[in-house]
Amino acid sequence: MNSTKTESQRSVGYGELICGNANFRNLWLGQIISLLGDWFNLIASAALVVELTQSGFAVGGLFLVRMLAPFLISPIAGVVADRYNRKHILILTDILRALIVVGFLGVREPEHIWLLYTLTATQLALSGFFFPTRTAILPDVVSGPELGAANALSSTTWSVMLGLGAALGGIVSGTWGIYPAFAIDSLTFVVSAIFIVQIKYDAAVHLDASDKTVRSALHEYLDGLRYLARHLDILVMALHKAVGALFFTSGLLVIQVVMAESVFPIGKGGGISLGLMFAVAGVGTGIGPIVARRFTGDRGRPLRVAILLGYLLSSLGLLITAPLLNFETVLVGILFRGIGGGMLWVFSTQLLLQSVPDLFRGRVFSTEFATFTLMSAAGVSLVGVGLDSSLGLSGVLWWITGLSVIPSALWGLWLLTAKSPSLSLEHPAEP
């Protein structure tokens, strides 16, 4: 099904979508299982790096590898998503990731750390194929009235699994050890593939797959970039996640680790306080778009205004957090930042899903994912440098809070001055 067709029916509710659309239900259940494994893997990998190296630098290297691998693979990933059957891509990447994760079981000694980085890079490169393809296939398996609920539910699932998966990953690693967590992660990819196999999906004709040369792939990816250049409004929409990562989210992950260890330590090494911060952030990113969508619906202009509100709420969250008054206040700040970040993520995705034609959807979402991962790496690196400087934790927090007004101001100015089309189901951008 293609969501760019004119739809006049009412929007579909979440329960109705899950019960009535078997294709989406299988895609969603696969997402739940796969994300659970992703968070198991992150917690176990970080714990293994610390155990083998006792190096904070090595842990930072793990995060950089996880962020940069999808960025480097994104040009070909977008072309693949527009060339080939998207269902088959999802199944293949799940199976390959299951096999890759088994390799983590062989990382036992400090001299094996290179293998952990290599396996992580390979796994996340495959994820660089999976996640843009999964987003691109969503309008193919739901109708126009179902698209808004499907996007919001998928994003909320990510938020819930952030808190639940990280918590369960910590429990499994702490109770049974690190390696059982890797085994469980591998199994989750297999289960995800089983759900996706059950999707009934008629692949649309995308790009010509007869020319498999690198030159052809590069030409097609550049066509996608030229499409974005011709539709500046869509390009700006595709950069929201990258902006959010740079100004709000990625650096705060590092800051939260430092706060848990040295400012508000609860549990061994601040593990409980860090888990609470992750959980609160997950709750915020989950409830924010769900509540806001009751007022915006899937209409272009209200969604754009809601993105501005998301920026403002994220800045407010940082402002509440920065003084480090007490742990309870910090949790409130992280909750507001999560609410704002969730609105930013879900509504920018919704506008792209409603506006980008099927022919370019894979390349647009791979470019969006690439800029997001690149800015995530930049944010982590900049905050890391700041924490090691004379600024310290408090200084870095205040700098981030001050700089966070920039995207709010720029997006507000864009809304006031840009002569951009209303992004809606009825008016997709033409190639």
| Residue-wise burial string across 73-103, b where 16 or more C-beta atoms lie within 10 A, e elsewhere | bbbbbbbbbbbbbbbebbbbbbebbbebbeb
Q: What's the Cα-to-Cα distance from 37 to each of 138, 156, 279, rounded to whole Å?
A: 21, 17, 17
Provide φ and ψ at 323, rounded to 5°: -70, -15
The answer on pLDDT for 20 being more than 60 is yes
Q: Domains of the chain: which residue ranges?
A: 13-197, 212-418
Span 267-313, pLDDT tens digits: 665 667 776 887 788 888 888 888 998 898 888 889 999 999 999 99
Count the Cβ atoms, other than its own, within 10 Å of residue 31. Answer: 20
Q: Which ranges constitute the DSSP H helices of 198-299?
A: 214-230, 232-238, 240-244, 250-258, 271-296
Categorize the per-residue pLDDT at 425 as very low, low, confident or very high, splitting at 50, 70 and 90.
Answer: very low
Span 384-398, pLDDT tens digits: 788 777 888 889 899
Given this structure, which CATH class describes domain 13-197?
Answer: mainly alpha
Residues in the chain: 431
Do the first three CATH levels of 13-197 and 212-418 match, i.e. the same topology? yes
Rounded distance between C-alpha atoms, residue 342 and residue 115, angstroms? 34
Tokens describing residue 5: 């067709």
Span 37-95, pLDDT tens digits: 777 777 778 778 877 887 656 776 787 888 788 888 877 888 788 888 889 999 999 99
Mean pLDDT of all residues belonging to the chain: 82
Tokens describing residue 211: 């020319």
Mean pLDDT computed over 206-217: 59
The model's pTM is 0.77
Q: Helix and strand tally (H, E) in the chain?
A: 17, 0
The answer on pLDDT for 237 being more than 60 is yes
Give the domain 212-418 fold.
Growth Hormone; Chain: A; (1.20.1250)
Span 355-366, pLDDT tens digits: 888 788 888 888
Percentage helix, strand, coil, to 5, in the chain? Answer: 85, 0, 15
Rounded distance between C-alpha atoms, residue 28 and residue 139, angstroms? 13
